Amino acid sequence: MSKKSLQKFINDSQKDKKLKNISEESRKKFASKEERFSYVVEEAKKFGYDFTVDDMLNEMEENLCYGFSDDELANVSGGTGGGFLSSSANQERKETKNFFLGITGKNQ
């Protein structure tokens, strides 16, 4: 449940300026990634989202370090053409990556 809540928060923060500001404020207020993530978790709870710092760390690792998730790999066929990720899956991956890059202060 918390992974879904995190993904919903990430997606919603692309559309809602109040939610997007949480990430931006975390970067302004705190130096460490852990402090920034803790701030995001606490602020997101005020809007009804339920996820943890560990959820964020796991999701960031999955999206920034390892490339495709198991679900995405299952959708890709072995070199025979077709089986590409849907545009919505690609968009969600891009939004997630940009969300974490924004918090960590890395170039997007």
The domain locations on the chain are 2-104
Residue type, 10: I
pLDDT in tens, 52-105: 999 998 888 887 664 555 555 555 555 544 555 566 667 777 888 888 877 877
The whole-number pLDDT of residue 85 equals 54
With cut-offs at 50, 70 and 90, classify the pLDDT of residue 108. very low
Burial of 6 (0-12, 13-18, 19+ CB in 10 A): buried
- Mean pLDDT of all residues belonging to the chain: 80
pTM of the model: 0.72
Q: Does residue 106 carry a pLDDT above 70? A: no
Percentage of the chain lying above the pLDDT 70 cut:
72
Percentage of the chain lying above the pLDDT 90 cut:
42
Burial of 49 (0-12, 13-18, 19+ CB in 10 A): buried
